[in-house]
């Protein structure tokens, strides 16, 4: 198409006014079509000239990047986010080719993960600028994380039978024989304080190992939920009354911000309380010197959201990717199964969990549960009857 316009321009002196108008109208139509195609793409396209000035951007790019103006000046001067601006400044001025570089961008209060590729714009074997490709991979990475968590739970399931047989049964035998040993020592009057202390330590360690095995088996066995329609606000209020005194002893203030308009959802109160308590216990451990724990609810026509926010030590970016993995823990006395069990319970409720945290700034955990959709009452259609016969 460009070749046609070049040939027409070479004969411009021979064209009539009407032919020039037709040529210009055709060029406008082609440009409009090209802009429509670019704006219809689900990924962002930015085009910069040799001086790195932005000369073209489609709608997806302007939606994904915090660009203050679509044209004029170097690209990095048009981006309000300092981190993103610095990234483009370094890459474009260095002339490097970048493929699928991942960068976090905050758009309207929401963190999005973008994949950015930068390629040279080549015309007649000469670099005339840069072509930037932007893709929002937030949901893609989220699906990968959920798949990895599901695979981790599946791998645990294959070990459940052998763990139950190889660990739990010997632990029971050890516990019984420790009790028999303690009774024998007392019966023969040869027990002393030191011996009793050692046996008590052994009993405590056996109990601790037994709890780990029980948690492990709970994490891998299929759950038998007794789902009933309920209001999550009522469950949170009851749980807050139960845990508030313990939190206050740790210097933690508990604040509830419950949306009274949320709809009902199907829950098993016993398991849901266990999931939320696991999160509260984690938050309590993260706020060793006291702090604020906020539990909030909000909802829409399709889901109910539960947010648990603490002002604790936060989670590093490296550990954030591992927190739902079995046996991963940063606590000296932790089993690494609390969040695994919590995640399993929420998934069994057809819900999902997301975590947003930064070191030194606390942690926000959001649980989404589907709204209970009651079956609509359909109007029964009755065929008209005439003279005892249906029409």
Domain ranges of the chain: 2-138, 141-220, 228-370
Q: Which CATH class is domain 2-138?
A: alpha beta
pTM of the model: 0.51
Q: Give Cα 259 distance to the centre of its chain.
A: 22
By the 10 Å C-beta count (0-12 exposed, 13-18 middle, 19+ buried), 353 is classed as buried
Rounded distance between C-alpha atoms, residue 279 and residue 46, angstroms: 43
Task: Give me the tens of pLDDT residue by residue for the chain, a chain 391 residues long.
Answer: 566 666 666 666 666 777 777 777 777 777 778 778 777 788 888 888 888 888 888 888 888 887 766 556 788 888 877 788 888 888 888 877 888 888 887 766 677 888 888 888 888 788 888 888 888 888 888 788 777 777 776 666 666 656 666 777 788 888 888 888 888 887 877 767 777 788 888 888 888 888 777 777 666 666 678 888 888 999 999 988 888 989 999 899 999 999 988 888 999 888 899 889 989 988 998 898 889 999 999 988 889 999 999 998 888 878 887 787 766 676 666 666 778 888 888 988 889 998 888 888 889 999 999 988 765 545 555 556 555 555 5
User: β-pairing, 98-107 with 110-123?
Assistant: antiparallel
- What is the rounded distance in angstroms from the CA atom of residue 203 to the CA atom of residue 197? 10
Listed residue (116, 118, 92) closest to 104, CA to CA = 116
Q: Is 349 exposed, middle or buried (0-12, 13-18, 19+ CB in 10 A)?
A: buried
Residues 6+ apart with CB under 8 A from 71: 53, 54, 55, 57
User: 271 with 369: CB under 8 angstroms?
Assistant: no
Cβ burial of 72 (10 Å; 0-12, 13-18, 19+) is exposed
Which residue, 374, 375, 367, 376, is CA-closest to 299? Answer: 367
> Domain 228-370 classified CATH 3.30.565.10?
yes
Beta bridge partners of 211: none
Coil, helix or strand for 315? coil
* Distance from C-alpha of 273 to C-alpha of 240, rounded to nearest angstrom: 10
> How many helices, marked H, and strands, marked E, lie in the chain?
11, 14
């Amino acid at each position: 198409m460009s070749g046609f316009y070049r040939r027409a321009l070479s004969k411009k002196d021979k064209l009539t006014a009407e032919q020039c108008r037709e040529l210009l109208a055709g060029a406008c139509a082609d440009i409009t079509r090209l802009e429509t195609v670019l704006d219809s793409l689900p990924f962002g396209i930015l085009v910069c000239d040799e001086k790195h000035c932005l000369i073209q951007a489609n709608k997806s790019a302007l939606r994904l990047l915090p660009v203050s103006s679509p044209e004029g000046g170097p690209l990095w001067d048009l981006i309000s986010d300092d981190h993103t601006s610095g990234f483009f400044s370094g890459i474009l001025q260095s002339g490097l080719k970048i493929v699928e570089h991942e960068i976090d961008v905050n758009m309207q209060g929401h963190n999005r993960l973008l994949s950015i590729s930068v390629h040279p714009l080549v015309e007649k074997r000469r670099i005339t600028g840069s072509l930037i490709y932007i893709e929002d991979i937030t949901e893609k990475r989220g699906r990968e994380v959920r798949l990895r968590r599901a695979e981790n739970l599946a791998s645990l399931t294959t070990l459940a039978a052998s763990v139950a047989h190889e660990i739990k049964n010997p632990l029971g035998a050890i516990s019984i024989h420790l009790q028999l040993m303690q009774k024998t020592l007392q019966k023969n009057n040869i027990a002393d304080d030191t011996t009793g202390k050692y046996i008590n330590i052994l009993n405590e360690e056996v109990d601790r190992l037994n709890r780990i095995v029980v948690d492990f088996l709970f994490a891998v066995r299929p759950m038998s939920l007794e789902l009933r329609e309920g209001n999550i606000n009522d469950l949170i209020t009851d749980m807050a009354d139960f845990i508030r005194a313990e939190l206050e002893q740790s210097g933690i203030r508990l604040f509830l911000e419950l949306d009274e308009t949320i709809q009902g959802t199907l829950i098993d109160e016993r398991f849901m309380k266990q999931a939320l308590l696991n999160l509260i216990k984690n938050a309590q451990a993260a706020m060793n010197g006291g702090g604020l724990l906020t539990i909030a609810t909000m909802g829409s026509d399709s889901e109910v959201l539960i947010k648990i926010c603490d002002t604790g030590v936060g989670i590093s970016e490296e550990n954030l990717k591992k927190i739902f993995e079995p046996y991963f823990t940063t606590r000296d006395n932790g089993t690494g199964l609390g969040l695994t069990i919590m995640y399993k319970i929420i998934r069994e409720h057809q819900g999902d969990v997301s975590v947003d945290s930064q070191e030194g700034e606390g942690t926000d955990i959001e649980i989404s549960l589907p709204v209970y959709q009651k079956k609509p009452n359909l109007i029964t259609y009755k065929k008209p009857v005439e003279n005892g016969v249906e029409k």
